[in-house]
Structure 1
């Protein structure tokens, strides 16, 4: 996939691209640009392009406690799924998680995202929790790499 370009958001345009992918794939949890900027300070964010086309984005949440649990999330826009882009984003996220010393790797998927759930399960993740956030009607699913 030599024409795939993955980078950290480095300005307003790439932050807006990351925001767009997130909000399309997770319509129940709309993020403002200010919220994305704040996330970029706490998490490792990347955005993926093929040529000039926006493909997807990823998030790696570093460990916040003694368990060294790192959350890796890869998102690919529907029109670009099934072409290996998710594999590349996921591999980069796993690599980053290992650099952060992860002992446990988790992901979280909106239950309505059947493609995302299928991808996670295919890659060895198993469901550990299912819950609703306040005001939500669609459950979130936490999964852990077995």
Structure 2
């Protein structure tokens, strides 16, 4: 093989290898920064076991908010159509955080409890991630069916 061709082949091979390494590192970095949105029923079914951190979305259960008297620690329960998940958060909560409010919490699982590092409260009726909106619509549909069935059972 001609020395000039050999040199060009080595350079092309090095450029291709460098590009492959760069793409691989980019994909790995993007994978580490992805946050998946799951509902409490999805977490309870085991879908969250493969994620180190993820987002938990649902409604704050009425009467479940408990604030610590000597720190900023707050515990509350997030619910969806068929699941509940206890959440623990230390920090200042958004002003719109309250019972029966849509919330998205970012964090990780610790035993059977979700430890949140960030809590976002829904700010108006126009904002809601598609996945959470679908889960909430399903929950409301199930409540209507259950209410209708309960009324149908009465004489």
What is the TM-score of this pair, normalised by structure 2? 0.24
User: Could you say which structure has the larger radius of gyration?
Assistant: 2
- Judging by fraction of residues, say which structure has more strand: 1
